[in-house]
Amino acid sequence: MMSSDIINKNTDRIIYPEHADVVIIGGGFIGASVGYWLKTRAGEGLSVVILEEDFTYARIQNNVSLGILNQHFSLPENINLSQYSVEFLRNVKNNLNSDVDIQFCPIGHLILASDKYAERLEQNVAILKEYGVKNELLTTNDIQEKYPWINTVDIKLGCISTESEGIFNPWALLKGLVMECKKLGVTFVNAKVVGFEMEQQQDVLMEGISPGNFKRINQVIFKTNDNEEHTIKFAIGVLSAGDSSGKIAKLAQIGLGDDLLKLPLPVERREYNIYKIRDSDDVKINLHTPCLMDTSGLWLRRNSIDRNFLCGVTPLLNSNEKELLSDGYYADIIEPSLLNRYQNIKQNQISKLKTEIDDCNTYDGTGILGYHPYHTNMILAAGFGKLGCQHAPGIGRAIAEIVIDGHYTSIDLTRFGFDRLLIDEPLVEFNVY
């Protein structure tokens, strides 16, 4: 994918835009979705620029465990976002273009619960039914009959989705969003953000800020591949740079100032290993094998059309990254969980496949979305981790709503705002795949 910078035909020199209505920092799933929705709704009425450091999207392509469509969440916001993703992806050829093939496989999700969490699973399924999500509770006998390769000795209850859940090709979705953005007139610039310029506004009064001391962001400074610095003046900025978002926020003094700028954006890089389970005569994986979440936090899913499993562990929020990548973590956590749940698997069938990277909100694990309380023209959209891929259509639409309409009109995502950090009210999603 190439950037759509404007080239001066007389000199072959790239002319970078100097101003835009909206500048989006980060052109991944969320950034591209924001650009798509802004231009879909406003057309030529809004000029939109996306700053992206890597147009090969190498890191996203490396994350092979993305592309999950799941509705089994505890937060209503996540349930609603997943439901919208179902609608968007079901009509993806109309929403983007007829060449997009996301290869959706509706294999479902199987959630397992021990005796300790069986009641919570029942309560969650009841909530999901209120939102129209179709799930079926399974007894231990049901699980043994449907999936005889699963050891159910320590299982009390299971839940299987009956529609609209499965796996899809995330790279196809991203390419479709980017290409449609370009058709709609979004300008892509291959560059790294290195700073912001702010102007003092004497007439702005804000609680906790001394009169005359408020500084408004009005420009973003970026460095191109030729090591030149440029600036773009903007009315609204969107920070959706994945695991780099916390560092970029510091360039706007978020976490380095006083009062409303005292708290940092708690989004950090989180690395973890993904493993592959090779198929054999003892372990048969077919096209209808569901994604699975074990009681230990271990997850498994079929690797596209290949006859093998991908697996990993959903780490705890305070997990140490070095520990997650260590041989000891595999030996103490992952391997015992696998060999317990799937007793036909042999040790020599399991091998490390990749190390993946997520943007982790270290405060409560839930994405942060909405205007910053001090920088009232800067929208934050980061810390969603794996959910940033499957929820991108709804997140992008939500940002377009607060830009154009001034408030959320489809799904109320107010609780995802930065304000919850100021009042110390974590928003925890208990069902993270």
To the question of pTM greater than 0.85 for the whole model, the response is yes
pLDDT tens per residue, range 114-128: 999 999 999 999 999
Question: Is a pLDDT exceeding 90 seen at residue 85?
Answer: yes
Confidence of residue 219 (pLDDT cuts 50, 70, 90): very high
Q: What is the pLDDT of residue 35?
A: 98
128: three-class secondary structure by DSSP: helix
Determine contact, residues 254/239, Cβ cutoff 8 Å. no
Mean pLDDT of 301-328: 77
Q: Select from 195, 179, 175 the least CA-distant residue to 249.
A: 195
Which stretches of 201-243 are assigned E, i.e. beta strand? 215-224, 229-239
Q: What percent of the chain has pLDDT over 90?
A: 68
Q: What is the pLDDT of residue 14?
A: 76
Determine contact, residues 46/22, Cβ cutoff 8 Å. yes
Q: What is the pLDDT of residue 200?
A: 81
pLDDT tens per residue, range 396-428: 999 999 999 999 999 999 999 999 999 999 999
Burial of 320 (0-12, 13-18, 19+ CB in 10 A): exposed
119: tokens are: 């009641």
Determine contact, residues 372/229, Cβ cutoff 8 Å. no
Q: What is the pLDDT of residue 59?
A: 85
Task: State how far the Cα of 292 lies from the Cα of 369, in Å rounded to an integer.
Answer: 29
Task: State how far the Cα of 10 lies from the Cα of 42, in Å rounded to an integer.
Answer: 32
Nearest 10 degrees: CA dihedral of 305, 429, 383, 39? 70
Question: Is a pLDDT exceeding 50 seen at residue 11?
Answer: no
Q: Amino acid letter at 131?
A: Y
Contacts of 62 by beta carbon, 8 Å cutoff, 6+ apart? 354, 356, 357
Q: Per residue in 327-361, is it b (16+ CB within 10 Å) or e — as a string?
A: eebbeebbeebbebbbeebeeebbeebbebbbbbb
Task: State how far the Cα of 96 lies from the Cα of 172, in Å rounded to an integer.
Answer: 11
Contacts of 44 by beta carbon, 8 Å cutoff, 6+ apart? 185
pLDDT tens per residue, range 253-302: 999 988 899 999 999 999 999 999 887 555 556 667 899 999 888 899 88
Question: Is a pLDDT exceeding 90 seen at residue 392?
Answer: yes
Which stretches of 205-307 are assigned E, i.e. beta strand? 215-224, 229-239, 267-278, 291-293, 298-302
